[in-house]
Copies of this chain bind each other. A is one copy, B any other.
Amino acid sequence: GTGAGNDLYINQAIVFIEDAIQYRSINHRVDSKSLWLYRWYYSRTCQWILSLTITVILALAFVEEPSSLTITSDVRYRLPAWNPPCGLTESVELLCFLVFVVDVSVKSYLIGWKEFWKNKWLMAYILTLIVSLADWIVSLSFFCKESVRIRRILRPFFLLQNSSMMKKTLKSINSTLPEMASVLLLLAVHLSLFTMFAMLLFARTKDNQQDKEWVVYFRNLPDSLTSLLVLLTTANNPDVMIPAYSKNRAYSIFFILFTVLGNLFLMNLLTAIIYNQFRGYLLKSVQSSLFRRRLGIRAAFEVLSSLKETPASAQQSCVSVGALLQVLQKAEMDSRCKQAIMRSLKMCSCDQLSAAQFQKLFEELDKDAIKQHPPSPEYQSHFMQKMQFAFGHPYFGYLGNVVALANIISICVVLVMDADKQPSERDDFFLGAINCFFILYYLLEMLLKILAMGLKRYLSYPSNRFDGLLTVILLILEIATFAVYGFPHPGWRPEFMGLLSLWDMVRLVNMFIVFRFLRIIPNMKFMALVVTTLLDLVKNLRAFAGILVVVFYAFAITGIMLFKGAVVPLGNTSAANTTHDNGTLQCGTYEQLEYWPNNFDDFAEKNMISWCSAQAEIIYCLLYVFSVHLICRWAKIYFVAWWLISSVIWVNLFVALLLENFIHKWDRRCQRESLSDIEYQRTVELMFRDVLEEPTEEELMEKLHQHPHLHLCR
């Protein structure tokens, strides 16, 4: 090869190795200019700008009219919120769109036109951008007075298309849909049959006293369906049964049958189905990541082997160590891994590397990073050595925990004693004095630990960092309190001064002390296991959470569009509800339920409602409220859809993932226990290490030969 050809091969190898490290696909253009563009596109700055743009466009909803920039969301009290002038958010939006246009063009160019037509996500991306831009133009030409803004609903798509994890998860969820649909159909049949039964059972009778059940819950078909649907969420559980049960005990059989079949069997069947589908999900995804990594490394090997064909006749292709060193120096990777690979490359001392040796070198990437704490300082004096032994001993940590517990208990006692006192009767002396003592102890503990372990070793433990940070914050708060209000003394009850009153200061200190108590967690084995499981779960859940955010956002925006202004304060009810001329307010309207703050007038608000209804309780109230407001049909469908997606499907997905994660972790607990003093930086990949299958040489080569842009010589 020529010099330019060599440079191209080196660059290709660099990019392939970077792809392997990041688990990216290698199916992109491989000519010089494209490689430069590719590295630029995947550089930290570019990806950071893209993420920022997505965040900004999603966050716009909080600022846009109707904005959420008020302290309370109660329509009775809140002041009119500041609304940005027309054109401000729109210009920010345009900027974001321009970034997206650049993004989609670069992406499309890099994968090549032939691949582009196969990629539905990219096509959808372009379509979304076109629709958004068109909507933006319409919006500006109406001077922001148009009522429907489609582009708002489309926004979460930008988040979705940017994450390969989320796309993969969505595909998984998609494959579960047929079976979920079957269970939902079963649920629908269950619901409709029981509705008919209920309507026949609780029919109107001649005695008006007797048919309370009919009046309240089963007046007509939609009412009956709603009552039973809400019973399925257990939100109105005993209430719906009481009137009938009061008439005759036997009626309870109907409700018990309905709940057992619907709630206990069918709902849990949904969990079972989703868990069954997702059992292999994590493993499969880790397996495909591993394949991508091996493929990238193999591709790098292949391009490097065609660099200089030194032993031209040799059957086995191989790579010179010098070329690999050149590639390694230029590739962006974790410095620890780079050094480890360099080191083993020097130890190898051979000149040529075979494919197997090449792969073996890069196995360093898969290894655990063993975290080593810096050593303690070595003191000369005998006294200092004794001090070091005493305060570096775990028992000193346990003593700290006991003191923290004592502090918590003392706060608790004061809280119980002061619970019913008027603010003017309160004396902060006692709490101030004990807190002062405890905070001094915390400071002393921190200093002694630093003395025993040395600052570097002290800071290398996360629990110490947590501890130290809170101790420093507490110290600052305490000093500030003393500076403003003087030292505690009986009758220490000064009036409001400065930013916070003394009472607020003391409360803040107490909250930090309660929070600091969490330091006990790593000391309890089971708790530590649970907490690490939860943290792992959070990592694995990012994709799910992203999808939830997407759905949430779309629902919130739809909700705002549909129900904006549906809730009006009591004063101007007549102005808004012209169709609803019944003057008396029924039980359950906003006024009586005191649900004023829950309305659809802004975005944060809508999130709140969605959150609540995810908990399946508020649906009932809101359904009722909206049925009063005469837009009941749509609101009902809207809430039922939201309940199904958020509460039923998403919660089940979550449970499935938790089961999967936890069971893996639990099985491995015994093996790890012996090694518990070494802190591994565990990743999902490592959790599955023993069950993963290495891809075979044939699979890798077949995939490489299918590469649309790289044409290997052999």
Contact = CB atoms under 8 A, between A and B. Distances in A.
A237 B617 contact: yes
A514 B203 CA distance: 16
Contacts of A511: 197, 200-201
A200 B507 contact: yes
Interface of A is mostly: helix
A598 B242 contact: yes
B247 A72 contact: yes
Nearest to A256: B611
Contacts of A237: 612, 615-618
A655 B247 contact: no
Nearest to A265: B534
B238 A615 contact: yes
A221 B414 CA distance: 11
Contact of A419 (B221, B264, B416): B221
Interface residues of A, number: 98
A470 to B, nearest CB: 14
Nearest to A408: B196
A196 B412 contact: yes
A490 B447 CA distance: 96
A276 interface: yes
B597 A245 contact: yes
A423 B214 CA distance: 13
A167 B507 CA distance: 52
A269 B272 CA distance: 16
A8 interface: no
A632 interface: no
A182 interface: yes
A119 interface: no
A415 interface: yes
Contact of A507 (B193, B203, B241, B662): B203
A651 B236 CA distance: 19
A147 B597 CA distance: 51
A510 interface: yes
A246 interface: yes
A422 interface: yes
A242 B608 CA distance: 11
A193 B518 CA distance: 9
A372 interface: no
A597 to B, nearest CB: 4
Contact of A272 (B182, B423, B526, B659): B659
A269 B183 contact: no
Contacts of A658: 265, 268-269, 271-272
A604 B276 contact: no
Given A265-B534, A415-B199, A507-B200, A275 B659 contact: yes
A16 B30 CA distance: 77
Contact of A196 (B71, B196, B411): B411
A221 B530 contact: no
Contacts of A72: 246-249
Contacts of A421: 204
A666 B278 CA distance: 14
A273 interface: yes
A281 interface: no
Contacts of A534: 265, 269
A200 B415 contact: yes
Nearest to A261: B534
B238 A594 contact: no
11 contacts: A68-B249, A71-B247, A186-B526, A203-B507, A206-B424, A234-B615, A238-B617, A242-B597, A243-B594, A246-B594, A659-B659
Given A74-B246, A268-B654, 13 more contacts: A73-B245, A186-B527, A189-B527, A197-B511, A204-B421, A204-B423, A220-B419, A234-B616, A242-B594, A242-B598, A243-B594, A263-B615, A271-B659
